[in-house]
Amino acid sequence: MKNRIKLTFLLFIAIVPIFCVGIDLLMSVIQADPGSGGALTFDESIINQVIYFSVWTTLITSFWGIAAVLNYFRKNSKKIAWAESDNVMTMVVSYQIVVFLIYTFTFIAARDGIVGFSTWYKVLKSVLEHWILPFVVIGYYILRERESTLISNEFMKKKAWINCVIPFAYIFFISIRGLMIVKFSDKADWFTPFPYSQLDPTDQPVYLWLPGMISFIALFYFVSSLVNFTSIKLNNKISIKYKFVR
């Protein structure tokens, strides 16, 4: 990928996610909107960020983007290896796609279920984070040269399961946090014990929330496998047609 185009992609991927989280974190304190899930204190604002998987995805994307920008200015021998990995990039793209699809379908089907679309900064954050950033990440993923030699079957056996680790950690985190809140505090003091009602053990029967949690974790195995398969198929075609960015 040509230098200026590559750097433009990487700077966007590195900066915009941090901007999205940062503006929501600060403005939810300065210009709070409790009716849409806005925080009233800085501590609550931090909690209001870390309990959502979309924010985890955004921060992971930015973390990868920052490492990739650093690599851009480094010699090959001093580059951060994982930031150049096709498998790590596949993970980032998979997370972005899942978050994009869930958010978009929820927005279309039940806009009232979307937390925070009533203040200018939340609208800006949502548009950048959920609708623009995913396409920039996917665009970079498609246009960059693929280096991995793993075929689809090998990826599914050796790498795809790794993409379930962070979703598992997320489910573990919100479950422990939610249960601690429900078990050891008064209901009047609860602050979003479970961010997603579909996965809320206090609101849903076990035959819904438990399969929901398991399915959420397993989903990334299949999505990352599909993303990797598509990348392999598209790589040669893109290489021939868009040599000017390679």
Higher pLDDT, 92 or 41: 92
Q: Please write the tens of the pLDDT for every residue from 149-204.
A: 788 899 999 999 999 999 999 999 999 999 999 998 888 788 889 998 889 998 89
- Structural domain containing residue 166: 3-245
Say yes or no to pLDDT of 245 above 60: no
Q: What is the mean pLDDT of the chain?
A: 89
Say yes or no to pLDDT of 216 above 50: yes
Angle at 199 between CA 155 and CA 177, to 5 degrees: 95
Residues 62 and 13: beta-carbon distance below 8 Å: yes
127: which DSSP letter? Answer: I
146: which DSSP letter? Answer: P
Q: What is the pTM of this model?
A: 0.91
* Greatest CA separation for the chain: 62
| Counts for the chain of helices (H) and strands (E), in that order | 9, 0
What is the sign of the dihedral through the CA atoms of 203, 43, 124 and 130? Answer: negative
Q: How many domains does the chain have?
A: 1
239 — pLDDT class (breaks 50, 70, 90): low
